[in-house]
Amino acid sequence: MTTFDERESAFENKFAHDAEMEFMAESLRDKGIAYWAAEKLGMSTAEAAGYAKNLIKADFSEPGSEVVVRKLVADLKDVADEAEIRAKMDEILEIARKKVFGDEA
Q: Where are the domains of the chain?
A: 3-104
Whose CA is closest to 29, among 11, 8, 52, 6?
52
Which range, of 1-5, 18-22, 98-102, averages the lowest pLDDT?
A: 1-5
- Using only C-alpha atoms, what is the Rg of the chain? 17
pLDDT of residue 99: 94
Mean predicted confidence (pLDDT) in 17-25: 88
Quickly state the pLDDT bin for 64 (edges 50, 70, 90): confident
Which architecture, in CATH terms, is 3-104?
Orthogonal Bundle (1.10)
